[in-house]
Structure 1
Amino acid sequence: MPLRDLLLGLAVIVIWALNIIVIKLGVDDLPPLLLTTLRFMLVAALLVPFHPVARHQLPFLALLSMTFGSLHFALLFIGLGQAEAGTGALLVQMGTPFATLLAVIFLKERLGPRRLAGLALSFAGIVVLAGGPTLPSPLPLAILLLSALGWAISQLLIKQGPTIPPLALAGWVALFAIPQVALGSWLFESDHLEALRGAGWAGWGAVFYTAVMSSIVAYGVWYGLLRRHPVNRVVPLTLLVPVMAVFLGAWLLDDSLGIHKLAGGGLVIAGIALIVVKFGSGKKKATTRRQRRTNA
């Protein structure tokens, strides 16, 4: 990967790691579901007019808005309001092991020894985190794990569903998610006008950052990298997101950095690395190509 693209990839990782910190600050200034609604409104306004989709794709996008919009994003914002930023970032990474298990159950994908070991390490990391003081109480813990499950279900739906350009998908999912999350905010949150009038730079900054920087700018750059490079060279960079979020949380928000968080987080990340990184695949492909040239 050229240095320019590597730096672009690292810039995306920084944006996504900071996104966790920004959400944490934002939900301290605005109710989480109201903040999520405003985020979706801005994403939809910026993307939907410029990224039309076919009519037959609308039911799929409406379904995805329930799992990706409401289940993943709304619960992520709620959970981060009650957990440390770094711990929340680590828990949400469980979406990858969940997606792996769902693919085995519903798509009949094979689970080899390496991926099985990755699953075991990931869940062992959660057990280690559970022994430390930074793990949130059972309710926010369940909320963050459900958010990770929502992400995992969404990945399977995207894999099986129609091919839709990423920014079109983000915009239309946001549009369909607006009434769902807004209804939740109306039912479970109060004093919306007062909250909007009293919101400061943290609340409105979170709306802008999570919508524009994290969803539009970062994903736009990321999918450009995926088009130019093999997936197994780009995707492993995402393992840096929770690592950076943990240290940014400690630096900017005074989150704790205890042995349970470091050890448990290390196990989670190591497990996910075993699941997503294809070790030695490049050498095998190169050997295969050389053998073909020799045989020819």
Structure 2
Amino acid sequence: MSRRDMVMALIVMVIWGFNFAVAKFGLRDFSPIFLMCLRFASVAVLLLPFVRIPRGQMKEIFILSVLLGSLHFPLMFTGLTGVDAATASIAIQLQVPFSSILAAVLYRDRLGWKRGLGMAISFAGVIVIAGEPRALDNTFYLFLVIVAALIFSIVNIQIRRIGDISGFALNGWMAIMAVPQLFVASLLMETGQWQQLHTATWLGWSAIAYMAVMVTIVSYLMWYPLVRKYPVNQTMPWTLLAPVFGVISGIFVLGEPMTPAMIVGGALTLVGVAVIVIRKAPKQNQNQSVT
């Protein structure tokens, strides 16, 4: 990678990592599902004027919107209400071993002993974190984050089924379809939405702006060119920095304590994920597109 591209990749990981702390500020003013509804409504408004209708792909995008809008994000952000940002940023990394398992089952992708070992190490790391006293008191919320990681591994497979589509078209139409789902879910399972709109602080609204603009639009504007330009073995290892910045944001922005169990469990999880995602480059490198 060139220095410019490495800086871009680093900025993206900072944006993604700090999203966990920013989400905590948003959850102080908004209920989790309603927060996601406002986020995706903002994304839809911002991207709709610039995206074309993806003919023949709307059904698959709708399925994606259900997986993300109705399942992944509500589960993850509800989980965030009960666990630290640092804990969530590490636990969500289980999407990597979950994706490997699903790929092996659905596509007969050979796991091999190295990836099997990586999965065992990463799961062991989350078990160590789950045994930490604060996590024991909020096991249900940690479980929600882990289920959200599983759902996201299914999302990755669904994106493969959608095929060739620009990242912005995918994000824009997914957001449009997710908004009514999230709105109905919020009405059924949450209360006080109107009051939240009136009492939310600038921090709550800033959190929505950050998640909509920085995470969903700006970061992908920088990330998509990189994954199209470079082989997966050069881009995927960068994603290991996102949970690192997630932990940093939890400690220094939110003042979350760092315990020995968090350090050991986090290290094990990241090492396990690294074993899975870091691979030798093939003899003939081919750029892979991720949308």
TM-score normalised by the chain length of structure 2: 0.94
For 2:199, the equivalent position in structure 1 comes to 198
Do the aligned residues in 2 keep the contact of 1:71 with 1:146 (CA within 8 Å)?
Answer: no
Give the 4+ runs in structure 1 shifted more than 4 A.
none
Query: Alpha-carbon deviation of 1:121?
Result: 0.6
Do the aligned residues in 1 keep the contact of 2:54 with 2:165 (CA within 8 Å)?
Answer: no
For 2:187, the equivalent position in structure 1 comes to 186
For 2:127, the equivalent position in structure 1 comes to 127
For 1:231, the equivalent position in structure 2 comes to 232
Alignment partners' CA distance in 2, 1:54 and 1:86 = 37
For 2:57, the equivalent position in structure 1 comes to 57
Tell me whether 1:220 sits opposite 2:221 in the alignment. yes
For 2:99, the equivalent position in structure 1 comes to 99
SS at match of 2:28: coil
For 2:89, the equivalent position in structure 1 comes to 89
Paired letter, 1:159: R
Alignment partners' CA distance in 2, 1:30 and 1:210 = 14
Do the aligned residues in 2 keep the contact of 1:129 with 1:260 (CA within 8 Å)?
Answer: yes
For 1:25, the equivalent position in structure 2 comes to 25
1:281-296 to structure 2, matched below 5 A, reads: 281=281
Query: Alpha-carbon deviation of 1:46?
Result: 1.2
1:237-256 to structure 2, matched below 5 A, reads: 237-256=238-257
Paired letter, 1:219: Y
TM-score normalised by the chain length of structure 1: 0.92
Paired letter, 1:274: V
Do the aligned residues in 1 keep the contact of 2:47 with 2:168 (CA within 8 Å)?
Answer: yes
Structure 2, unaligned runs of 5 or more: 286-291
Paired letter, 1:51: V
1:237-276 to structure 2, matched below 5 A, reads: 237-276=238-277
Query: Alpha-carbon deviation of 1:285?
Result: 5.4
Do the aligned residues in 1 keep the contact of 2:130 with 2:139 (CA within 8 Å)?
Answer: no
Do the aligned residues in 2 keep the contact of 1:35 with 1:203 (CA within 8 Å)?
Answer: no
Deviations 1:38-86 (CA, angstroms, capped at 9, x unpaired): 0010111111221113332111111000112221122222111111000
Alignment partners' CA distance in 1, 2:190 and 2:203 = 19
Deviations 1:113-134 (CA, angstroms, capped at 9, x unpaired): 1111111111111111122124
Query: Alpha-carbon deviation of 1:160?
Result: 2.6
For 2:170, the equivalent position in structure 1 comes to 169
Query: Alpha-carbon deviation of 1:157?
Result: 1.0
For 1:41, the equivalent position in structure 2 comes to 41
For 1:73, the equivalent position in structure 2 comes to 73
Query: Alpha-carbon deviation of 1:4?
Result: 1.1
Paired letter, 2:249: L
Identity of aligned residues (%): 39
Do the aligned residues in 2 keep the contact of 1:69 with 1:177 (CA within 8 Å)?
Answer: yes
For 1:8, the equivalent position in structure 2 comes to 8
Do the aligned residues in 1 keep the contact of 2:129 with 2:266 (CA within 8 Å)?
Answer: yes
Query: Alpha-carbon deviation of 1:19?
Result: 0.8
The alignment yields a C-alpha RMSD, in angstroms, of 1.4
Distance 1:176 1:115, change over 3 A: same
Judge which range, 155-164 or 236-245, deviates more: 155-164
Alignment partners' CA distance in 2, 1:191 and 1:68 = 24
Structure 1, unaligned runs of 5 or more: 287-296
Tell me whether 1:110 sits opposite 2:110 in the alignment. yes
Paired letter, 1:103: A
Do the aligned residues in 2 keep the contact of 1:9 with 1:222 (CA within 8 Å)?
Answer: yes
Alignment partners' CA distance in 2, 1:224 and 1:74 = 29
Paired letter, 1:161: I
Alignment partners' CA distance in 2, 1:7 and 1:93 = 22
> How many residues in Structure 1 have an aligned counterpart in Structure 2?
284
